[in-house]
A and B are shown apart, each in its own frame.
Chain A
């Protein structure tokens, strides 16, 4: 395995960010790209469901022997929180994938826990508003891009 993930903390509160870095060391083959994904997924008896929160991609590999990709992914105030239920679980994880030409991709996964933050009605309302604004800005940018193209 030539890719490794290090997290600052194994557990974060909803509304905070998960920080860490993915380190790749060359084993001879030059990858096309390295992708780091923050996601949660449903496991257990329910049908599988994966929700990708954010992706960070490094495609400027050139002839480098070692690459470090620092990341910081925001965890929504709405969660979901990590959960171990009777029928299903909610698992949060960081997945790093090395896209190798003519070979199986290398993948490393690091699971972390999202715990509930202390409840403060004002703080929750403010964080929810901030997230709504960000979503609105992203939607507007996408619309502008579509119009220009």
Chain B
């Protein structure tokens, strides 16, 4: 059984981003309009709001770490095309409760387009499937069994300098007692066909 790294965190991550955005804009405006007391006070209020948003985001992240701990996904490795098996998602749960869970199997294509200043990456989800997870009650631990079925038609995991395909198991957990959270695990699909 292989363990994978969780690549996601607290849901509503936009709160922190918005806080930083307001902080930067209001900070610049504060110095630009320093001579105007009326505008300066508006900027100070905006700076205060930004700091509150950042504090909320930091508290939520800290709370999730405190209550939930680090998530793990155990899954047979490596996984060929046509694989049909189970993955186990587990996470310490200290004093919080899970209200609902949404699990998705996704395959994404990422390409590199353009050159120079116009060079950029474009990501597109090419396979999106909702998986039916089974929650097993455990003492101070969340354990979720996820049936995973990789289509036999693929694609397998692939990467070169201009294009790649990746498979993900993505989870969204609605919680009571702590902020809602998400988890993302990349899984490697080898270019072999499982015996069907």
Contact = CB atoms under 8 A, between A and B. Distances in A.
Interface stretch (A20-28, A58-66, A77-85, A94-102): A77-85
Interface in A33-73: 42, 44-49, 51
Contacts, number: 89
Contacts of A81: 154-156, 158, 191
Interface string A107-123: 00000000111111100
A88 interface: yes
A118 B192 contact: yes
Contacts of B163: 42, 46, 49, 87-88, 90
A86 interface: yes
A117 to B, nearest CB: 6
B109 A85 contact: yes
A44 B192 CA distance: 24
Nearest to B158: A80
B112 interface: yes
Interface in B147-196: 154-156, 158, 160-163, 165, 190-195
B155 A49 contact: no
B26 interface: no
A132 B113 CA distance: 32
A116 B109 contact: no
Nearest to A14: B191
Interface of B is mostly: strand
A87 B109 contact: yes
Contact of B190 (A47, A83, A87, A119): A119
Nearest to B123: A87
Interface string B101-117: 00000000101111100
A46 B113 contact: yes
A47 B192 contact: no
A79 B164 CA distance: 13
Given A46-B162, A80-B158, A119-B195, A124 B190 contact: yes
B158 to A, nearest CB: 5
B159 to A, nearest CB: 9
B154 A83 contact: yes
A42 B165 CA distance: 13
A88 B109 contact: yes
Q: Which of A44, A77, A78, A88 has the most CB of B within 10 A?
A: A88
B192 A119 contact: yes
A51 B160 contact: yes
Interface in B89-125: 109, 111-115, 122, 124
Interface of A: 14, 42, 44-49, 51, 77-81, 83, 85-88, 90, 115-121, 124
Give 8 closest A-B pairs by Cβ, nearest first: A119-B192, A46-B111, A119-B80, A79-B191, A116-B193, A49-B162, A47-B162, A46-B163
Interface of B: 78, 80-81, 109, 111-115, 122, 124, 126, 154-156, 158, 160-163, 165, 190-195
12 contacts: A42-B160, A45-B122, A49-B163, A80-B158, A81-B158, A88-B162, A116-B154, A117-B192, A118-B193, A119-B192, A120-B192, A124-B192
